[in-house]
Structure 1
Amino acid sequence: MQRALDIGVAGTVLVVSAPVMGAVAVLVATRIGRPVLFRQPRPGLHGKPFTLVKFRTMRDVDERSGLVTDADRLTPLGRALRASSLDELPTMWNVLRGEMSLIGPRPLLMHYLDLYTPEQARRHLVRPGVTGLAQVSGRNAVDWEERLALDVWYVDHRSLALHARILVRTVLILLRRHGITAPGDSTMPQFTGSPRAGS
Structure 2
Amino acid sequence: MLRFYESKAIADFYVKYRPTFSQEVAKVVVNYLKRKRGIAEETQVVFDQLIDVACGTGQATGLFAPFFQRAVGIDVSAEMLKQAQQQNVFSHVIYKEGVAETIPASDHSADLITSAESVHWFDLPKFFQEARRVLKHDGCLAIMGSSLPQVIEPLKLPGGNEYEMGKFASNLFTKCLLEGNYDVLAYNHVLNKYKDIFKAIPSNTKEYNDDLTLRFQ
Taking structure 1 as the reference length, what is the TM-score of the superposition?
0.30
Instruction: Name the one with the larger helix percent.
Output: 1
* Higher Rg: 2
Specify which structure has the bigger relative contact order, considering alpha-carbon pairs within 8 angstroms and separated by 6 or more residues.
1
